[in-house]
Amino acid sequence: KKAESAYLEAVQIFAGLEKSTPKVYNYYMFVIYSNIAKLKQKQGSLREAEKNFVAAKNVLQPIFDDNPEIYRNDYIECLQDLQKIYAMQGNASMEKETNVLIERCK
């Protein structure tokens, strides 16, 4: 609990930095949100995992769009993780929608 609290505090610091200089901190925020999402998934908190995977995807999207050759694997992995969450939740429509995004990236 202490480590998670400290990590979430660090997220707030990085979020502030990302707002002032997004091109510098977008990738770091992507990694942070992905890590939180994976932690929440392991804890069985699927809604929190989904929320953080969506945040990771949204932060990575603009830098992926600018440099798809560099960020393609990260973006696809994030989408696949999100797709797994939707499958675990039984949300077939979002699972299918995410699969379409994955296929477009390949």
Instruction: Give CA–CA dist 106/3, Å, rounded.
Output: 36
- Kindly report, residue by residue over 40-99, the tens digit of the pLDDT: 999 999 999 999 999 999 999 999 999 999 999 999 999 999 999 999 999 999 999 999
Q: What is the mean pLDDT of residues 21-40?
A: 88
Residue 73 CA to residue 87 CA, distance in Å, equals: 21
Model pTM score = 0.86
pLDDT value for 17: 82
* DSSP string covering 23-78: HHHHHHHHHHHHHHHHHHHHTT-HHHHHHHHHHHHHHHHHHHHH-HHHHHHHHHHH
Tell which wins on pLDDT, 74 or 17: 74
| Residue 77: predicted pLDDT | 97
